[in-house]
Structure 1
Amino acid sequence: MLILSPSHYNKIMVSLIMFLLSMASQTLAVNVALSTETDKIALLVLKDKLTNGDPHALSSWNESLHFCAWEGITCSRRHMRVSALQLQNQYWGGTIAPSLGNLTFLRVINLTNINLHGEIPREVGHLKRLQFLGLSNNNLHGEIPIEMINCSSLEVIIMWQNNLTGKVPSWLGSMMQLTHLGLAVNNFVGSIPPSLGNLSSLEALSLGVNHLEGRITPALGRLSNLKFLSLSSNNFSGQVTPSLYNLSNIQVLDFARNHLMGTLLSNIPLAFPNLKMFTCGGNRFIGTFPSSISNLSELQLFDISVNNFHGPISPTLGSLHKLQIFNVGHNRFGNGRDHDLDFLFSLTNCTQLQNLDFYENYLGGVLPDIIGNLSTNLVLLDMALNQISGRIPEGIGKLVNLATLDMEENFLGGTIPDSMGKLKNLGELWLSENKFYGNIPLVIGNLTMLSDVDLSSNEFEGLIPFTLGYCTNMQKFSASENNLSGNIPNQTFGNQQGLIQLLLYSNSFTGPIPSDLGNLNHLSILDLQDNKLIGEIPTRLSACTALTELVLERNSFHGSIPSFLGSLLSLEILDLSNNNFSSTIPHELVNLTFLSMLNVSFNHLYGEVPVGGVFNNVTAISLVGNKDLCGGIPQLNLPACPMLPSQKRSLKKRVILFIAFGGVLISFVAFISIYLFKKKAKNLYTTSLALQYGYVKVSYRELHQATNGFSSSNLVGTGSFGSVYRGILVHFERPVAVKVLNLQTRGASKSFMAECKALGKIKHRNLVSILTCCSSVDYKGNDFKAIVFEFMPNGSLETLLHNAIEDSESTNMSLNLMQRVNIALDIAFALDYLHNGSGEAVVHCDVKPSNVLLDNEVVAHLGDFGLARLIHGDACRSSSNHASSSAIKGTIGYIPPEYGAGSPVSVEGDMYSYGILLLEMITGKKPTDSMFGEGLSLHNFCNMATLDGITEIVDSRLLIPIDHQEGRVTQQQNMEDTIQECLVSFASIGVACSQEFPNQRMSIKDVITELLAIKQKLSC
């Protein structure tokens, strides 16, 4: 038996320990390497799914960098494993790959606002270390996977604004570490699970804007740490459970827009001493005003509107020094007597007050002078639909930040104080249905921000002040049902280019309709009925192509019913009754496909009633009181139209003359054709183009002088077939644009002839007007061809969209959303005219921003008809269209896909190009942008955004910056909601127009209707 000495034994043991440590370290190194490789593989799979395989996305995720240095990745120092994944605010539109579950060291996941779709993978349940999960503002659907119950370390779950469905999981009540649970703005159903009452650490619970129902569970009263509770916009019913009054730490309490009933706790401050925001509007609560809220020193927002509260409003609110919004509208406060408005005295101490709403109650008494002592921060003051009397105090002028003043439907009277002229920020002024009298004050012209004014149903008298013309932002003006008189002044409403509604009915106006109303190309409603107006309908109203309602009944208009009314294709209501019109009914009115009401009764009309359009609907037309009408459809029961003897003789003569001179005419035409065919001098033949369409003839010498010898300083742009110069011609008062064709370019001569031919046959306010053309030789004897147009000082739409200054006089002007909607409408009106309103259908073939030119008033004009095709009737939709050719017509990015496959040009092709143009207008991105390719196009890019995340793709200049200070709710936020809704609608139109298949594309008339609706919404 071998006996080891102690020294030998120690050496052997040391060697053995070193061997074991070496083996362990090698094993640990292998395991670490395997683990990190697992994370890397999982991330690469995740990238492919999140970004839809976009090679340009997450460019740092490559082999040249360790994955811990990749964008959005944080690793733990000890294990070098992924501990945080934060990739918010992107626009990839991908899905969450199941490989996410392999990142088992993850503590933070933030994939907010990256347009995710698909479901939340079950593999998330593998992430037992996960503490923060942020998936909000995406398009995820399906139920929350039950496997997440394993993520017991979760502290924050934020999934609001998705399309998640099913019930709120009851197993969430087992996640004892949760401090924030946000599931608002989804499609959850069922009731609130009582198990949520177990979450003793919960500080914020947001379940608003879902489809939850039933009673609010009493279990929520156990959440002693809760500071934020939002249950708004659901279907909760019954009374508020008393247990909620145990939430002594609550700061935000939101029950708005449910079916709750009962009374509120009288002593709210005792229950909620830290309350900052309280809203229960839009329910069925009853009881009196909780006067104890005056003890809530932190209160910023108080909204109990649209309920059934009654009694007086507490006059002890002056201690609420942080109050910003106070809304008690649409209740039953007050009794129509004095002292109902005493609460206003205390509110003068609330110096932060911005919104004050007490509309639609029973508040009476005289409006106190102290109204002018309210906070100078006040933006909105709404006291409409009450029983308030007295005058508007002079002190109103102190509220210098007031943007909305609504006093309609009260018993107010007196004159409008001149101090109102100090409200320079006032945009909305509603004083209708009161007892105001006197003149509309001249100081109204100081309020240049006014956009919506309603003075109707009062006792105003005198003239419309000329100073109203200074209010150039006006969109709606109503002074109907007053005692106003005199002429409707010229150069007043005509200066208000954005005016949409003008209502002056039931007054005593005299004189004619001002001709400058023809400047109002956005006017939708013009109601002048029941006045003493005379004269004829001015021809310039033909430019008001956006008109939907024209009401002129009960006046003294005379003359003919103008045929141009048939070109106002948006008309829905036309009332010319009870006047002195004496003519036939224009047959052109049958073109008004949207017309649902036509009243021409009680005039002196005669002759045949047209057949077709609105005339085929007996319930939509009124013809009574015109005894000399005949014909029409049988249901009208009018006599047949006789042929008079003179008509018979005239017809006989015309037949004889036609036979006699037919041969001579044919011979003459043949002679002229042969003569022109044999003409050798090109310049004599082509110069006659100018005379053919009635243009002033212009020579090469004149154009050379007008453009400084076609100098580069006069160059304003270049195109496919030539260059455009600015010039001054003696024949015209304004600058002109001279398009000089580069005849060396193939197709330039054909483009010249096509453009002259197209523009010679069509005229419309939204088409670039051709002034003349020139085909001659230059000083070197070379052929020269040029077309002269109106000069558009604001350049092209492309220039303004992409901030490129094309000449020294251009301005880097940023187009706002309303301007872009107006431009889109202008182009739509132009296309509607080309496709449907000019006899022969014209297909433009090259609709794009560089071919849209803007005049001084930023009115859009569609130009460059070098590729245009004239098509007869429905041939534009026929597969055998003879206007097609083997060459693809248009510009890359805007060419419809069917043209590439050899299909003929069509109006649907123009609609595709127009749709791409709209998407470029809203995103600020060209269809040829480098980001598009490999399956992603501008159309697809926007199509995904219309479902969710519109603000992430739009041109940033269209978004309003919002103050996101905690607890701050401003009128600007409401504006942002409206703008986002309009942005989605605008983008949806562009997507609908640029569908792949022609028969799926939106029609131009539907486009006009939708754009007008957007415009109306923006104007409100």
Structure 2
Amino acid sequence: MENNKLSGHIPFEIEKLQKLQYLALSANNFFGNIPSSLGNLTILTTLYLDHNNLQGSIPLSLVKCENMIDLDLSENNLNGTISYQVIGLSFSAISLDLSANKFTGVLPIEVENLKNLEHLDISENMLFGKIPTSLGSCVKLEYLAMSSNFFQGVIPSSLESLRGLQLLDLSKNNFSGNIPKFLESFIFLKLLNLSYNNFEGEVPTNGVFKNISATVIKGNSKLCGGMPKFDLPVCKYNKPKKRKLTLSLKLIISILCGLFGITLVISFLLLFFFKRKRRESILNNSQNLLLNVSYQSLLKATDAFSSTNLIGVGSFGSVYRGILGHDRCIVAVKVLNLLHRGASRSFIAECEALRNIRHRNLLKVLTVCSGVDYQGHDFKALVYEFMTNGSLDEWLHPISRTNEVLEEQKNLNLLQRLNIAIDVANALEYLHYHCHAPIVHCDLKPSNVLLDDEMIGHVGDFGLARFLLEATECHANQSSSIGLRGTIGYAPPEYGLGNEVSTCGDVYSYGILLLEMFTGKRPTDNIFKDNLNLHDFVKGALPERVINVVDPIILWEREGMETRTNDTHIQNRIGSPKILECLILIFGIGVSCSMESPRERMNMIDAVAQLHLIREKLLRTRIRGERVI
């Protein structure tokens, strides 16, 4: 029934055609979601739904179509991530075309399961990350198109096994590194398109590279060499130039070098001596100020833990503003409520975590106090750097105060929110991948992100943190006797089922936090009921209705002398294609991080990389004259 003018939804009742093997509805006007009932057509071998207006994600029920060899969903408005269950279909697919949609996320490593795949086209989407090395297992591939996405990194050496390739199109991405030499040996390759990337170095000269009509490499400014018709600059190799020196000149240079060396050594010794003296002085002062902190000094610093100095109340204690020592050092003092079950364990966990980590985006602990108060009761407290701009929660959800002089409204513009999101992502990447043992925060939320005087984000409150003895994979069947960790709305669903904590749990919390930052809605907002949640709220609006979910404060952000009532101007600003594209990408990362299945979530390394690319795009937009809201 392809190439007609059929419209409306594909009927759910199509599942009744139990003997259907070939279904072609291409080039019509169908819209709405792909019905999950298609999965009940278990002997279906060919499904063409391309060139329609279908929306939503690919139904997971298609995995039941074990005889499927040809699936074409191209030229639609499908979105969401390409699920590992779909890309790792149990059927022996020969052709898979998902091009010209709006898929986000990474290409799952399960692509290696498609052993018989000959044609794969995922071009013209919003996919990112690196090419999975597992793609090299699809040794029957003849057609591989990945153009017009946001892929990055180098071409993996595992692709050397794809010797049957006839077309390879990686154009219009962010690939970098050298063009692999092994492409010269692909004797069947008829078209190689590497244009508009960031490749560098020498272009090979054999195989397909001999035919300039079959090789497209324009838009890579750092390439050199190759066939003359490519008209690239000659590769420059840094070869040391030999100079003949007379014996007398060599002697003079040797003497001068010797004198310079002696002078340099003496200078370093003097510098080391003075720096050591200065450091000893600073250490003595700081030790007197902080390391000797006692219950009495903290009592005095906080005016007897006065309510006027109270700046926050958490699960296991209260935080006070304090002024310590003669230097009047402003600090934040977290006093543990030891009557609360788990408070002592939280104190130990936080001390252990903070003892092992150092990062500019983590809240710095100055010292701890463990002793007794004047009544003889146990007293435990942690002393932190004071963050002058409070918590991210206060900026996202400012509380209206009555009977007080109205202060300037706390607002965060788009770029500020993105910068803070990157700060938090950097902190999590460090905890997950760059510590001696991976650390899971377990309670990431806006109230645990603190902002300094430069609006740099710092992740704090490690009272629920856990060390992992080894990198834990994100499986959803690892049980634990530990109760629910984290805060309702931010804790991942698998924790509620009793599963063990993992870095993927932090990724989920980060995804929710990212969506909250740009929608202005808490995951516990009253609108989220009847099975609707923040994740689905944003996912359902991508990409066409992204304006409907953006925080209104961003839309109404005032710049310079512009008035808030200029609706046309505001619509023009938010309607900027570049800014809309950035918002769609940001929400796409938030949705990908907060997927229900842990294995479908993006890792923090990829999240950090993509957020940096988005910020660069946003800054380029500003340079070109478009206002960044």
Given the two structures, how large is their TM-score scaled by the length of structure 2? 0.51
Aligned to 2:69: none
Q: Distance in 2 between matches of 1:571 and 1:766?
A: 29
Q: Distance in 2 between matches of 1:141 and 1:885?
A: 52
Aligned to 2:433: 836
| Structure 1: gaps (5+ residues) | 1-116, 122-139, 145-161, 166-185, 189-210, 212-547, 550-569, 574-594, 599-621, 627-689
Does the aligned pair in 2 maintain the 1:843–1:868 contact within 8 Å?
A: yes
Report matched runs for 1:851-870 at 5 Å: 851-870=448-467
User: Structure 2 vs 1, CA of residues 974 and 944 (structure 1 numbering), >3 Å: closer, same or farther?
Assistant: closer
Aligned to 1:1005: 605
Aligned to 2:351: 756
Structure 1 residue matching 2:539: 3-state secondary structure: helix
1:548-590 C-alpha deviation (Å, 9 max, x unpaired): 99xxxxxxxxxxxxxxxxxxxx9989xxxxxxxxxxxxxxxxx
Q: Distance in 1 between matches of 2:510 and 2:454?
A: 22
Aligned to 2:416: 819
- Answering whether residue 519 of structure 2 is matched by residue 899 of structure 1, we say no
Report matched runs for 1:299-448 at 5 Å: none
- The structure 2 residue matched to 1:744, chosen from 318, 339, 354, is 339
1:308-336 C-alpha deviation (Å, 9 max, x unpaired): xxxxxxxxxxxxxxxxxxxxxxxxxxxxx
Structure 1 residue matching 2:587: 3-state secondary structure: helix
Structure 2 residue matching 1:925: 3-state secondary structure: coil
Q: Distance in 2 between matches of 1:867 and 1:877?
A: 19
Aligned to 1:1017: 617
User: Structure 2 vs 1, CA of residues 993 and 875 (structure 1 numbering), >3 Å: closer, same or farther?
Assistant: closer
Measured after TM superposition, the shift of residue 947 of structure 1 is 3.2
- The structure 2 residue matched to 1:918, chosen from 511, 514, 519, is 514
- Answering whether residue 526 of structure 2 is matched by residue 935 of structure 1, we say no
Measured after TM superposition, the shift of residue 838 of structure 1 is 1.4
1:767-812 C-alpha deviation (Å, 9 max, x unpaired): 0000000011111111110000011111111111011279999863
1:238-272 C-alpha deviation (Å, 9 max, x unpaired): xxxxxxxxxxxxxxxxxxxxxxxxxxxxxxxxxxx
Q: Distance in 2 between matches of 1:898 and 1:914?
A: 15
Does the aligned pair in 2 maintain the 1:989–1:1007 contact within 8 Å?
A: yes
Report matched runs for 1:478-557 at 5 Å: none
Does the aligned pair in 1 maintain the 2:476–2:598 contact within 8 Å?
A: no
Measured after TM superposition, the shift of residue 1011 of structure 1 is 1.0
Matched residue pairs, number?
360
1:450-484 C-alpha deviation (Å, 9 max, x unpaired): xxxxxxxxxxxxxxxxxxxxxxxxxxxxxxxxxxx
User: Structure 2 vs 1, CA of residues 846 and 973 (structure 1 numbering), >3 Å: closer, same or farther?
Assistant: closer
Does the aligned pair in 1 maintain the 2:391–2:449 contact within 8 Å?
A: yes
Q: Distance in 2 between matches of 1:805 and 1:723?
A: 22
- Residue type at the aligned position of 2:325: V
Structure 2 residue matching 1:775: 3-state secondary structure: strand
User: Structure 2 vs 1, CA of residues 623 and 1013 (structure 1 numbering), >3 Å: closer, same or farther?
Assistant: same
Structure 2 residue matching 1:736: 3-state secondary structure: strand
Q: Distance in 2 between matches of 1:963 and 1:833?
A: 43
Q: Distance in 2 between matches of 1:770 and 1:949?
A: 43
Measured after TM superposition, the shift of residue 895 of structure 1 is 0.8
Percent sequence identity is 48
Does the aligned pair in 2 maintain the 1:800–1:814 contact within 8 Å?
A: yes
User: Structure 2 vs 1, CA of residues 712 and 143 (structure 1 numbering), >3 Å: closer, same or farther?
Assistant: closer
User: Structure 2 vs 1, CA of residues 826 and 781 (structure 1 numbering), >3 Å: closer, same or farther?
Assistant: same
- Residue type at the aligned position of 2:553: R
Aligned to 1:661: none
Q: Distance in 2 between matches of 1:805 and 1:881?
A: 44
- Residue type at the aligned position of 1:700: Y
Instruction: Give RMSD over aligned pairs.
Output: 4.2
- Structure of higher RCO (CA pairs closer than 8 Å, 6+ residues apart): 2
- Answering whether residue 386 of structure 2 is matched by residue 788 of structure 1, we say no
1:68-87 C-alpha deviation (Å, 9 max, x unpaired): xxxxxxxxxxxxxxxxxxxx
Aligned to 2:369: 774
Report matched runs for 1:706-721 at 5 Å: 706-721=301-316
- Answering whether residue 552 of structure 2 is matched by residue 952 of structure 1, we say no
Does the aligned pair in 2 maintain the 1:794–1:810 contact within 8 Å?
A: no
Q: Distance in 2 between matches of 1:792 and 1:899?
A: 31
Report matched runs for 1:539-688 at 5 Å: none
Q: Distance in 2 between matches of 1:894 and 1:991?
A: 13
Structure 2 residue matching 1:864: 3-state secondary structure: coil
Q: Distance in 2 between matches of 1:751 and 1:880?
A: 26
Aligned to 2:295: 700
Q: Distance in 1 between matches of 2:299 and 2:405?
A: 21
The higher radius of gyration belongs to 1
Measured after TM superposition, the shift of residue 953 of structure 1 is 1.5
Q: Distance in 2 between matches of 1:988 and 1:143?
A: 22
| Structure 2: gaps (5+ residues) | 1-6, 12-27, 33-50, 55-74, 78-99, 101-151, 154-173, 178-197, 202-235, 241-285, 557-563, 622-629
- Residue type at the aligned position of 1:986: I
Measured after TM superposition, the shift of residue 835 of structure 1 is 0.4
User: Structure 2 vs 1, CA of residues 712 and 1008 (structure 1 numbering), >3 Å: closer, same or farther?
Assistant: same
User: Structure 2 vs 1, CA of residues 974 and 955 (structure 1 numbering), >3 Å: closer, same or farther?
Assistant: closer
User: Structure 2 vs 1, CA of residues 880 and 920 (structure 1 numbering), >3 Å: closer, same or farther?
Assistant: closer
Structure 1 residue matching 2:444: 3-state secondary structure: coil
Report matched runs for 1:115-130 at 5 Å: 119=9
Does the aligned pair in 2 maintain the 1:741–1:784 contact within 8 Å?
A: yes
User: Structure 2 vs 1, CA of residues 825 and 143 (structure 1 numbering), >3 Å: closer, same or farther?
Assistant: closer
Does the aligned pair in 2 maintain the 1:742–1:748 contact within 8 Å?
A: yes
Structure 1 residue matching 2:442: 3-state secondary structure: coil
Does the aligned pair in 1 maintain the 2:305–2:320 contact within 8 Å?
A: yes
User: Structure 2 vs 1, CA of residues 945 and 743 (structure 1 numbering), >3 Å: closer, same or farther?
Assistant: same
User: Structure 2 vs 1, CA of residues 801 and 971 (structure 1 numbering), >3 Å: closer, same or farther?
Assistant: closer
1:265-301 C-alpha deviation (Å, 9 max, x unpaired): xxxxxxxxxxxxxxxxxxxxxxxxxxxxxxxxxxxxx
Structure 2 residue matching 1:723: 3-state secondary structure: strand
Q: Distance in 2 between matches of 1:832 and 1:930?
A: 32
- Residue type at the aligned position of 1:1003: N
